[in-house]
Amino acid sequence: MRRVLLWGAGAIVVLVGVVAIGLRVPAVQDVVLERGANAVVSSDQADLSDPDSLTLIFCGTGGPFPDPERAGPCTLVAAGGRVFLVDSGTGGAQRLQQLRVPMGQIEGVLYTHLHSDHIAGLGDVAMNSWAGGRTSPLELYGPPGVENLANGTFSAFGIDSKSRIDHHGEEVFAPQAQAINSTAFVVPSRDEVVTVIEDGDLKITAFKVDHVPLENAYGYRIDFKDRSVVFSGDTVRDQNMVRFGADADVMVHEVMGMANIHTIIGALRDNGQSATAKILTDASEVHTSPVDAAEVANEANAELLIYNHIVPPMPLGVMEDIFMRGVSDVRSEGVVLGYDGLRVHLPAGSNEINYGAL
């Protein structure tokens, strides 16, 4: 028996050696590359065309901190074939491409507010959706100032855009699609909503949330047929999420792990980094803890709560445990710690909520 085992182990070693040597042969390398390229290119792209569902794909669940696991705030929403992003944080466009999402179907971006971590990836969204086949101008919606974002991005990418058309031709880069249009709107008061888009079974409304010192920070509710999702944007615990998120199938709520962030603040102060400590202290006063977000979801009677804009990054497993402390005491089920690549599918005419990695 021992000889058989030794023979088997030896055969495996020889096989591994043969494969390793083979991969050093140029002809073998070429075959491996060709097959790998064909496998990637021929793989199915994410389907965004279902006429009877509301679908979310999380392309960025982080915040302004550098985080290898999470891009900046970015969520794709597909409703009956219409496709939008909610915010365009750093790295969101690249994450969508990694997830094999057909970028050319993105028609616009809904901005919750105009902080840098929510807007910095717009140039990549505009360029990669154009390269992906978008044939109409990209439409931006958001608070006053979104017109500056549109015009500034268009201007900054002007030389690049012209070179793409000149180099690849108008059949690939439709000239009219290089434009970035904007619709700025003001929600008059905390008691009102503004209808941003209404098209058949799709209705998108905006409402005020509390993210001082910004005067105009918005949450969004998206209703498609009998399904709904509400986005908090950046905010402290706010009753408007309860009011305008009432009975939503899914509540996407920003969160900051207060225990983790305060430990980091203490370490910064101990090491003489008082300016950064102040920035994080100020930031901790304008965001929502995981427990508070869970209580908001309960009050709103939301079926599923997804944590988003997750700050700080959590490279250590213990940080996630600390982050989630107390949540189960408040909400024992229906809570998901969001992650890049999370897909949520809400079929119309049903109470089903299907979610998992794309």
Cα 278 to Cα 154, 272, 348: the distances in Å are: 35, 11, 47
Q: Are 56 and 76 in contact (CB under 8 A)?
A: yes
Provide DSSP, 283-322.
HHTTS--HHHHHHHHHHHT-SEEEEEEEES---SHHHHHH
- Catalytic hit among 67, 117, 238, 340: 117
For the chain, how many helices (H) and strands (E)?
A: 13, 15
CB 268 within 8 A of CB 276: yes
CA 153 vs. chain centroid, Å, equals 20
Annotated active-site residue 292? The verdict is no
User: Of how many residues is the chain composed?
Assistant: 358
Quote the CA–CA distance of 151 and 137 in Å, as a whole number.
12
**Token output for 158:** 């002007």
10 Å CB burial of residue 198 (0-12, 13-18, 19+) is exposed
Which residues does the annotation mark as catalytic?
A: 117
